[in-house]
Chains A and B, each alone.
Chain A
Amino acid sequence: MFIEAKQINKVYYDKNNKPNTVLKDIDLSIQKGEFVSILGPSGCGKSTLLSMIAGLVSSTSGDIIVDGKKVVKPGKDRGMVFQQAALFPWMNVTENVMFPLRKEMSKKEGLERAQHFLKMVQLSNYPSHYPHELSGGMQQRVSIARSLAMDPAVLLMDEPFGALDEQTRSRLHGQLEEIWIDTKKTIVFVTHSISESIKLSDRIIVMGTRPGTILTDIRVDIPRPREQHRQEIAALEEQIMGLLKTEIDKVIDEEQAYEAGS
């Protein structure tokens, strides 16, 4: 297995020292080159799990292994794309993409590499623009190019298109799919959008909330490009919707109970 999570638990303590289990007994394995979505309602710990693979958050118990090595801290073998592009505003597009490269290669090599990946996300015409001059979708593409430029084994994406409008999102779905086919990267993609996960991934890990657990692991066998298989998509969407319905009800019930209690 390329990425392996074994018996992951994560417990936060709130102000009154009350434990709050975010993730409970997560077991997950992902193969090299797979496009896996982690799908779940907000609060199910899917982003926390992704941050753990990135090495930004530590688990309370349990280990994550990536490519045979235990994850203890962030590393360039795991690129991460966040919901916000997180580009550095004081650097232009090219400088941003070169940021992770500056220590391991010469300026010239870094520049060539940056140009290559900017071309891949179709932004080769904007090398000296600054982030504030780009639209949200363009910023996110720069951010993807920046992650790809360091040639990570895994690309971790935390609701990367969540803040974009529908049309931009749909275009970026197509681009990401192409990039995935070209680069054969392993992608772990966190989302709360059912249709997004079906459109993009080989496998969908559906998570439930309070505590965060894996409800089911669905293999998506619909051939690509998937737009042509609307019926299968609709059927799968309904199936997942049914699964998540009870979860979302659970969240609402708890919130109401909380409000009634306070």
Chain B
Amino acid sequence: MKPAVKRIIFFAALIVFWELGSRFELWHETILPSPISVYDSLVAGFADMTLVYDLIASFRRLLIGLAAAVIIGTGIGILLARSKTADETLGTLVLALQSVPSIVWLPLAMMWFGLGEGSIIFVVILGGTFVMILNVRTGIKNVDPLFIKAARTMGSNGLDLFIKVIIPASVPYFVTGARLAWAFAWRALMAGELLSSGPGLGYTLRYASDFGNMSLVIGVMIIIGVVGAIVDLMIFQRIEKNVLKRWGLET
């Protein structure tokens, strides 16, 4: 059986079980609404465009934050890989900060940037930056010394060696870094939106929760999960696979 077929059967079974459970009142509708009411609230949400505006607003923040995270992460990552002193000082700070969930920065961010876009984007940037830094740093440090030796015998050195050989050789790590940065940024975005003002998927989730609209809560959760999975599978894993193959790292 093809994996796609297995997947369809699995999810169909899950939804059927969920619907049957609601029909036979194994749980109460206010605790876990049935898939049909979730579907209805999703349709209503898209019909009056609120979910569309939410998606647009969330993606806007995500793209800005992720782009900044990738750029800053690449810059600092290169610095850490090239300078031993930076690695021993700033590198330690990066490692420490990396273990702090970025959402805990939100109170500070609100003091600095106010209760709006700025704070959320700041949290998204922090969410993605550290993992990008660490991957770029590892990638550049792990370039096969043979590539460097070969390039040097061909007259390449200094900046030319760095730009023409070391950077392209570490591209697989850049891609993995960007994929992880996206995953962290997406989570940070949802957390940030839950705690701030709208529009945005996270904001709508909290809004629905405040009004006891559990079917919309679940609907938004499903959107968050589906968007996350689609972006990861369709974009990042695909790029990563191609790069690993080209770079001869996949067996």
Contacts and interface: CB of A to CB of B under 8 A. Distances in A.
B155 A100 contact: yes
Contacts of A80: 149-150, 153
B120 to A, nearest CB: 36
Given A82-B146, A86-B146, A88-B165, A54 B153 contact: yes
The B interface is mostly helix, strand or loop, or mixed, namely: helix
Contacts of B156: 99-100
A132 B168 contact: no
Most central of A78, A84, A131, A132 by chain B CB within 10 Å: A132
Contact of B168 (A54, A90, A156): A90
**Which one of B155, B156, B165, B171 has the greatest number of beta carbons of chain A within 10 Å?**
B155
A51 B18 CA distance: 68
A79 B152 CA distance: 10
Given A78-B153, A100-B154, A103-B155, A132 B146 contact: no
Best-buried of B151, B153, B248 by chain A (most CB within 10 Å): B153
Given A88-B169, A90-B171, A150 B248 contact: no
Interface string A77-96: 01110101010111000000
Interface in B159-190: 164-165, 168-169, 171
Interface in A29-79: 54-56, 73-76, 78-79
Contact of B147 (A54, A88, A150): A88
Interface string B52-89: 00000000000000000000000000000000000000
Contact of B155 (A74, A132, A156): A74
Given A90-B246, A131-B248, A74 B152 contact: yes
B245 interface: yes
B112 interface: no
A2 interface: no
A86 B156 CA distance: 14
Contacts, number: 61
Nearest to A75: B155
Interface in A94-114: 99-100, 103
A158 to B, nearest CB: 10
B17 interface: no
A96 to B, nearest CB: 10
A203 interface: no
A233 B248 CA distance: 39
Nearest to B152: A74
Interface residues of A, number: 26
Contacts of A147: 153
Contacts of B157: 73-74
A86 B171 contact: no
A180 interface: no
A56 B146 CA distance: 11
Contacts of A132: 245-248
Which of A78, A89, A130 counts the most B-chain CB atoms under 10 A from its CB?
Answer: A89
Nearest to A77: B155
A152 B149 CA distance: 16
A56 B246 contact: no
Nearest to B168: A90
A141 interface: no
A201 to B, nearest CB: 21
A130 B168 CA distance: 15
Contacts of A76: 153-155
Given A88-B169, A89-B246, A131-B248, A56 B154 contact: no
Given A132-B245, A132-B246, 20 more contacts: A55-B152, A73-B152, A73-B157, A74-B153, A75-B155, A80-B149, A80-B150, A82-B146, A82-B149, A82-B150, A84-B146, A88-B147, A89-B246, A89-B248, A90-B168, A90-B169, A99-B151, A103-B155, A132-B248, A146-B154
